[in-house]
Amino acid sequence: LTMETLKKVELCFPQLFNTSCKKHKRPQSESMIIYTVLSSISLLTVSLNLLVIISISHFRQLHTPTNLLLLSLAVSDFLVGLLVMPFQILLLEPCWFLGDLVCVLLNFPLFITVCASVVNMVLISVDRYVAICDPLRYPAKITANRVRISVLLCWIYSVCYSFLFLPENLKQPGRYNSCYGECVISANAAVDLVLGFIIPISSIIILYMRVFVVAVSQARSMRSHIAAVKLQRSVTVTVKKSELKAARTLGVVVAVFLMCYCPYYGVSLSEYEVFLGSSTNLFIVFLVYFNSCLNPLIYAFFYPWFRKCVKLILTLQILLPNSCEANVLWR
């Protein structure tokens, strides 16, 4: 009886002795480190993206088509930090007590927000492509209304994308659980790989490579038309710095995206179905979400106005009358 009692204590649902999951307890120090790190990432993701949202929404100087795309990206990443990351932290618990249906439904915002974050990156790439490669027609092509429609379509696509995976799991919630007390859903790896990774990353790489080639070509053209020999050295140095900055920005954008997404899709290729929620895949899944923490650093911290806005927000100067009219674009 004593051994049986001990075994029951180790089960998530002692009354379901044969079908209940076992409680796998981690060392307290290990659990504390894991929860602290993941909670900090979630809090940082929410805070950074909230600063971007407040900045672009409040200051009228920032109400541009490009910044509207940044705002949409920040909203999707904010929701990742607010809804998705805490849900994944819950999955670290040895037992899932909220039920199979709740498990499936909580994955709904997961697919929507992560997909929206990636699609927003593609839209930003298109915006920068037109700005660099066709600057004269940029104001006519990239209008506020067109950007609003693009953002709306982005979120509609993200919702439709999530419906590709959820109906199968809603037919019989918990069908992929190996025991009672798990939260596991199945996603078609082939569809997810093509729609969630190959198409977006291919678009981003192609667009940014084109932008980089045009930027370098324009820089070389400027050098060839320099008439004043005295200014040639200083201008050449400036152009080289510009080329390096363009290359660095391109490298950061692509490298960070690949760093966060490649491990996940590497597992997707090795297994036809990715079981979200399993302990072995939890780290690489959270790495995908970490991209939402890095996005505001890449797309917002590179703008000089963002530091100015953060200062005004943290010092509560945005509460002053007419603060929305403040000049945040000066250097």
pLDDT in tens, 192-210: 788 888 898 889 889 888 8
Note the pLDDT of residue 158: 92
**What is the predicted pLDDT for the residue at 155?**
95
Residue 243: the pLDDT is 47
| Residue 72: predicted pLDDT | 94
Average pLDDT, rounded, for the chain = 79
The model's pLDDT over 231-246, given as tens digits with 9 standing for 90+, comes to 555 544 444 454 445 4
Cβ neighbours for 186, distance < 8 A, ≥ 6 positions apart: 165, 168, 169, 176, 273, 274, 275
Alpha helices by DSSP H, the chain: 2-9, 28-58, 65-79, 85-90, 100-106, 108-133, 138-141, 144-163, 166-171, 189-193, 199-224, 229-270, 279-299, 304-314
CATH class held by domain 28-325: mainly alpha
Bridge partner list, 22: 11
Token pair recorded at residue 277:
């929620």
Rounded to 5°, the CA angle 278-284-288 comes to 120
For the chain, the C-alpha Rg in angstroms (whole number) is: 24
Pairing type for strands 185-188 and 273-276 reads antiparallel
The string of pLDDT tens digits covering residues 31-62 is: 788 888 889 999 999 999 999 999 999 999 88
**DSSP readout, 255-304?**
HHHHHHHHHHHHHHHHSSEEEET-HHHHHHHHHHHHHHHHHHHHHTTTSH
One-letter amino acid for residue 72 of the chain? S
Cut 0.85: pTM above it:
no
Domain extents for the chain? Answer: 28-325
d(CA 131, CA 60): 21
Angle at 310 between CA 304 and CA 311, to 5 degrees: 95
Record the tokens describing residue 59, joined without a space. 């200051």
Instruction: Point out the residues of the chain with pLDDT beneath 50.
Output: 1-3, 5-8, 227-230, 235-240, 242-244, 246-247, 272-277
Distance CA 72, CA 155 (A): 9
Note the pLDDT of residue 277: 45
Q: What is the pLDDT of residue 7?
A: 47
Helix, strand, or coil here: 91? coil
The predicted-structure confidence for 169-192, as pLDDT tens digits, reads as follows 888 787 777 788 888 887 777 787
